[in-house]
Amino acid sequence: MAGFGSKIRDFFKKSSLSSSFYEDLEDRLIEADLGPKLAVELSELLSKAKAKDIETFKNVLSDKISPLIIGDQLTLSREKPNVLMFLGVNGVGKTTSIAKVAHYFHQQGHRNIVAAAGDTFRAAASEQLSIHGERLGFRVIKSHTGADSAAVVHDALTSAIAHKDDLLLIDTAGRMHNRSELLHELRKMDKIIRQRVSDSDYKRILVIDVNTGQNCLRQAEVFHEAVQLSGIIATKYDGTAKGGVLVALARELRIPIYFLGTGEAPSDLHVFDAKQFTQELVTLDF
Ligand SMILES: Nc1nc2c(ncn2[C@@H]2O[C@H](COP(=O)(O)OP(=O)(O)OP(=O)(O)O)[C@@H](O)[C@H]2O)c(=O)[nH]1
């Protein structure tokens, strides 16, 4: 799949004289993952300005998305433990992101880190987390497959408080038998954490794969409804899609982006820079 930049560039190269220019542009923007609402708004703005050149498009795009995209640096408070719960559908990179975030804070001097294998749905998930823990030097609290994930979270919190850990990272399942079961499970975990950790020390982080396009939006809405998301980690930014979906997400949910994941290694994590991201998107430079 071609990225956002090349799709839009091609469009302006080939279609500048067509009579259905603005409708075609709208379709292209939707394909480029900006989402239907933003695509309609952008093509309407260009249509009003009677603009058909790529420079005007870039200016309109920049004006439109700059206020939408929010970057935020994830920092830990002095309280112990800070709790980060990772949410997202299967395969987006939750477990890998936990390893990356553990590595990131470890490098900042936070040596006491524990993770909870809250994905009790899939046997390999807690195994994978344990392997990361051994390599990177964090403890992992886990239970058997099919165990109550809220109980795992409860045990991990008790352990983190007893050990005076700086950070508790919670892995969760992305799939359940059905949506209401997933929501119920997540809310239960959320409630247990809120009973013992203050709001300022607890973040709910949505992990999304930027290559999954508009599917992300629906997923994000479900998780946001369940636990009120605090921020986003966008993974697989090293792939072909260059984040058009992040603009759509930012527009819909208005939550900050913490990090971009750019590979499988623990160090492949970059603090999100909103200015740089917007610049790359509007220069269509990829
Ligand atoms: N290229 C690339 N691959 C990534 C990135 N993040 C994760 N992956 C890979 O994506 C695959 C899935 O990652 P996981 O961390 O297992 O995903 P998960 O969300 O925990 O999946 P489940 O445990 O099935 O829910 C693995 O092969 C990771 O190595 C990234 O930023 N870039």
Q: What is the pLDDT of residues 131-157, one digit of tens each?
A: 999 999 999 999 988 889 999 999 999
Q: pTM for the complete prediction? A: 0.89
Q: What pLDDT is recorded for position 228?
A: 94
Q: What pLDDT is recorded for position 193?
A: 97
Q: Is the CB of 127 under 6 A from ligand 1?
A: no
Predicted-complex ipTM score: 0.96
**CATH 3.40.50.300, applies to 82-283:** yes
Q: Is the CB of 262 under 6 A from ligand 1?
A: yes
Q: What pLDDT is recorded for position 1?
A: 39
Beta bridge mates, 203: 84
Q: What pLDDT is recorded for position 35?
A: 79
Q: Is the CB of 90 under 6 A from ligand 1?
A: yes
CA 97 – ligand 1 centroid, Å: 8
Q: What is the pLDDT of residues 59-112, one digit of tens each?
A: 888 888 888 888 889 999 888 999 999 999 888 999 999 999 999 999 999 999
Q: Is the CB of 93 under 6 A from ligand 1?
A: yes
Q: Is the CB of 92 under 6 A from ligand 1?
A: yes
CA 122 – ligand 1 centroid, Å: 14
What are the structural domain ranges in the chain? 4-65, 82-283
Within 10 angstroms of residue 78's Cβ, the number of other Cβ atoms is 7
Closest Cα to atom 10 of ligand 1:
93
CA 282 – ligand 1 centroid, Å: 28
For the chain, which ranges sit under pLDDT 50?
1-2, 286
CA 70 – ligand 1 centroid, Å: 24
User: Could you identify the atom of ligand 1 that is nearest to the CA of residue 91?
Assistant: 21
CB 101 within 8 A of CB 169: yes
